[in-house]
Amino acid sequence: MKLGIFRRPVGKSKSPVLFKALGKMIGRKINYVAVGVKKGGFEGAVEIALKKGWRGANVTIPFKLEAANYATRLTDAARVIGAVNVLRFDDHEVVGHNTDGDGLRDSLKRAGVRMSGKRVLVFGAGGAARAAGWALAKSGARTVHFTNRTAATAKICARELAPSFPKTRFSAGAPKNADIWINATPLGQTGNPDKSPADSKLRAPETAVDLVYGKQTAFQKHGERLGAFVMDGTAMLVFQALRGWEFWDKPLAGRRAALAERLIEEIS
Ligand code: NAP
């Protein structure tokens, strides 16, 4: 199956390594390439992929919104989250989907983190923050607060997600007491400042989840100092990739968790 990822020309992607390993594990030929796309070049890159017979593609920053506009149909998850990280090229349509939210839920379940009834504080208000809010609300979180460098965007996130989850209270701001913190900013990622987005006045959460992966960031150290259970974004990355594969191919059903363990080991 021909697949790939559209990303900014800079930086490295773990996805080609992940899908190569997955192909070996499930005995399928997966031809997955990373394509660096310049500003304004997204549509052209997709057209080339279509001509080459790709089945679909992953999409990363900064193309998740462009991908949502490009798709001729959106799944419910992509529509509510408002960002697309997976495109599937069917015969008569391009379907946009979002697997970041389910990837995060899978990774929290794997770690034994209870989400139902919890008060969640999400740092950031971009695509990953919205996916995190969606995921936690879907799992029964009591409240989801967004706090962001640009405060207005946090309010928009809360306002737009709220109608889909009547049992969860959404708002903007950073309450002192939260059970789960989620860093959905790129702080700590290569090329960005490494500082915790969480104010030192906030009380200790039970769990601090960093969507940044592959390194110990200031956010993770902050969580550890407070005695929280801390996890990075490696497992989420693997689960969102597996769910992407299932969207292009067919459900892995009972095999997903075992494959995830092997893939997490492969890229750690
Ligand atoms: P995005 O749409 O560009 O949003 C970035 C968010 O972070 C925005 O709210 C932005 O605030 C904020 N931000 C950016 N730079 C900041 C800074 N220097 N200080 C404080 N806030 C800052 O990006 P995204 O797609 O949501 O991704 C966010 C992070 O999650 C990235 O590190 C990405 O790699 C990671 N991620 C990981 C996974 C995984 O599987 N582990 C999946 C998806 C994303 P403004 O609104 O003020 O610009």
Confirm or reject: Cβ of 9 under 6 Å from ligand 1.
Answer: no
pLDDT band at 253 (very low <50, low <70, confident <90, very high): confident
> Quick check: 61 pLDDT over 90?
no
Residue range 208-237, pLDDT digits in tens: 999 999 999 999 999 999 999 999 999 999
Query: Cα(54)–Cα(50) distance, rounded to whole angstroms?
Result: 6
Query: Which residue minimizes the CA distance to atom 13 of ligand 1?
Result: 185
Query: Which residue minimizes the CA distance to atom 46 of ligand 1?
Result: 150
Lookup: tokens for 233:
């974004």
Mean pLDDT of the chain: 96
pLDDT band at 11 (very low <50, low <70, confident <90, very high): low
The answer, yes or no, to whether the previous bond of 193 is cis (omega within 30 of 0) is no
pLDDT band at 101 (very low <50, low <70, confident <90, very high): very high
> Which atom of ligand 1 lies nearest, measured to the CA of 64?
25
> Which one of the listed residues 64, 195, 215, 221 is annotated catalytic?
64
Residue range 181-198, pLDDT digits in tens: 999 999 999 889 999 999
Confirm or reject: Cβ of 126 under 6 Å from ligand 1.
Answer: yes
- DSSP-based helix, strand, coil % in the chain, nearest 5: 40, 20, 40
> Which atom of ligand 1 lies nearest, measured to the CA of 104?
40
Active site residue 24: no
> Quick check: 12 pLDDT over 80?
no
The helix/strand/coil state of 246 is helix
Q: Give the pLDDT score at 45.
A: 97
Q: Give the pLDDT score at 218.
A: 98
Q: Give the pLDDT score at 18.
A: 97
Angle between helices 100-110 and 234-248 (to 10 degrees): 130
Confirm or reject: Cβ of 190 under 6 Å from ligand 1.
Answer: no
- Spacing, Cα 165 to ligand 1 middle (Å): 23
